[in-house]
Structure 1
Amino acid sequence: MNDNHDIDTAPPLITGRCTLVGAGPGDPELLTVKAVKAIQAATVLLVDDLVNDQILAYARADARIVYVGKRGGCKSTPQAFIERLMITAVREGETVVRLKGGDPFIFGRGGEEVQHLREAGIECAVVNGITAGLAAATALGVPLTHRDHAQGVVFVTGHAKTGAGAGEDPTDWRALAATAYNARLTLVIYMGVAGAGHIERELLQGLPGDTPVAVIQHASLPQQRHIATTLDRLHRGIAEAGLASPAVIVVGDVLRGLAAAALPLDAKQFGT
């Protein structure tokens, strides 16, 4: 047996570790204790664009912070490059935290990153964060489910995967609208502002025009803004208010409770 050959072909020893950490919707006080501990232990942090800078105050003074911003409609760090950075740093013995806005496993590409790490022989821990869709509804004082109004909730992206054909939308909004109507579901749409006109037209094929809708920008942050309107005015309302990403669109009867909240809303708009 050739011992030298066995040594030469042995896989590299993994001495570092990696954790995907959800930074939540923006408010630093919404971090979990486990997230704070992971950030404090990191020697390298790969930070998404939407992560509040105040959260980085928990990082150790000698930690290397690398900004790998990813935001719809803007120039972004390629996903493959981020994954190479993670793998390289772990192999160099670093304690890596991939710090992501919201929750890593809800439209955060966390599943893709875990898969690539495992293919490289690296196991990865995940720390959940409060997802923006939940925080947005809570910021308005309404639930996403309610025994009288919604028996479930659907989280869906309004942003097609990069590389889809021109005009192609992988989401069957008409079928989703029909299901939401028949099963009494709340729809929570991420990254849907840019395509709000198309989403409105398609959802109206299965939902009434007076279905309550809210659009919440910068949920949980001091600069939070929102509108409350109806489905047939969704695109117009966004344009008139000048809302932009990052924002979440909530569709469903749970929003009828907004009329009872201390918010500048027109109760008649929701038929109450």
Structure 2
Amino acid sequence: MSVNTGAEDADDIQNMSVNPENSELSTKLEALYRSINRRNFVHPDPLEFLYRYESLRDREIVGIVAASLAYGRVTQILNSVGKILSVMGPSPATFLEKADTGTLDHRFRGFKHRFAGGAHIRDLLMGVKAMIRHDGSLRQSFMKHFNASDPSVAPALDGFCRELCAMGDPGHLVPLPGRGSACKRINLFLRWMVRTDDVDPGGWAGIPPSSLIVPLDVHMHRIALHLGLTQRKSCSMATALEVTAGFARYAPADPVRYDFALTRLGIRDDLSITDFGL
């Protein structure tokens, strides 16, 4: 395997928020970040759809759609997200402004992504439409529930997700934080929208990266167990918060800093955790 292990870019140095604590794991995580957290390692990932949209009003809609469908085989995810965005055209925000329930029901009839059908997509998008119409943007809707004094975005997730469900039943596309879900996909969406580096496009001001939660799924849970960041056996919100706290020991201002690079190790055949001595 050949990866770039050269000096960090100037903007990477400027944004670095790593704890000066000298530890072997910290050194290895930083080496992984510098090598893998790059645009050329993104494919295959639903995140790549966000790069197509310069307007934040479009990008946040694309982000919520892409993150909501981010489960199952990655090829199926990319295919499903691509189908939805092809229907929504060059500006998903403009499409959604003009669409009503009947339009969405017709345009997504027959859509299928594992357990999700066209009705789930319709109700998700109607929830998004209602939030934007009421608050001006998804960011503004989230900020209604966010309190900067909270240790993480966890308390804000419940209100935001409930609003997404207000216009129907998007099913499992929207998590239920009150039931202890790790909320992997909504936390993935927040990582994309809040952080700004070579991979995450950002755009949502007012939410510090320090408040983000690691998007915990089975793969990341396995990595966290391997790194000794948790001993919990379930992929719950409690586990996600514990894993986030573990990463915060090394990057307190940006605990999800290593999420993208670590998850590449289970997605790409040309990368292995042993390549970085982890």
Q: State TM-score, norm by structure 1.
A: 0.27
- Identify which of structures 1 and 2 has the higher relative contact order when contacts are C-alpha pairs closer than 8 Å and 6+ apart: 2
Instruction: Determine which structure has the larger strand proportion and give its number.
Output: 1
> TM-score normalized by structure 2?
0.27
Which of 1 and 2 has greater Rg? 1
Higher helix fraction (1 or 2): 2
